[in-house]
Amino acid sequence: MSTLINPTTGVELDSSPASASLEDADTAIARAHDAFPAWRDVAPGERARLLRAFAAVIDEHLEELAQLEVLNAGHTIGNARWEAGNVRDCLNYYSAAPERLFGRQIPVAGGTDVTFHEPLGVVGIIVPWNFPMPIAAWGFAPALAAGNTVVLKPAELTPLTAIRIGELALVAGLPEGVLNVIPGKGSVVGERFVTHPLVRKVCFTGSTGVGKQIMAGCADQVKRVTLELGGKSANIVFADTDVAAAAASAPYAVFDNAGQDCCARSRILVQRSAYDEFVGRLQTAVTDFRVLDPADERSEMGPMVSAAQRDTVQRYLDDATVAFTGSAPDGPGWWLPPTVVESTDTSEPVWREEVFGPVVAVMPFDDEDEAVALANDSDYGLSGSIFTTDIGRALRVARRVEAGNLSVNSHSSVRYWTPFGGYKQSGLGRELGPDAPNAFTEEKNVFIAH
Continuous segment of H or E residues that includes residue 93:
helix 77-94
- Tell me the closest approach of the beta carbon of residue 158 to ligand NAD, in angstroms: 8
Q: From CA 58, how far away is CA 40, in angstroms rounded?
A: 23
**Pick from 248, 265, 273: which is nearest to 365 by CA?**
273
124 burial (CB, 10 Å; 0-12 / 13-18 / 19+) is buried
b/e code 393-422 from CB counts within 10 Å (16+ = b): bbeebbeebebbbbbeeebebbebeebbbb
| Residue 35 CB contacts under 8 Å (≥ 6 apart), including other chains | 149, 175, 176, 177, 178
Q: Which positions are catalytic?
A: 228, 262
Q: Read off the DSSP letter of residue 118.
A: E
- Tell me the closest approach of the beta carbon of residue 210 to ligand NAD, in angstroms: 4
Q: From CA 178, how far away is CA 200, in angstroms rounded?
A: 15
**Pick from 337, 383, 334, 378: which is nearest to 360 by CA?**
337
Q: From CA 205, how far away is CA 29, in angstroms rounded?
A: 19
**8 Å CB contact between 19 and 183:** yes
**8 Å CB contact between 426 and 87:** no
Q: What is the dihedral of CA 34, 37, 42, 43, to 10 degrees?
A: 180
SS3 sequence, 284-299?
A: HHHHHCCECCCCCCCC
How far is residue 371 from each of residues 238, 351, 358, 365, 401, measured CA to CA in Å?
9, 14, 23, 6, 9
**8 Å CB contact between 225 and 204:** yes
Interface residues toward ligand NAD, by CB under 6 A:
126-131, 135, 153, 155-156, 186-187, 190-191, 205-207, 210, 213-214, 228-231, 262, 354, 356, 382, 422, 427
**Pick from 263, 265, 42, 240: which is nearest to 149 by CA?**
42
**Pick from 101, 146, 104, 142: which is nearest to 125 by CA?**
142
In the complex with ligand NAD, the residue whose CB is nearer, 140 or 275, is 140
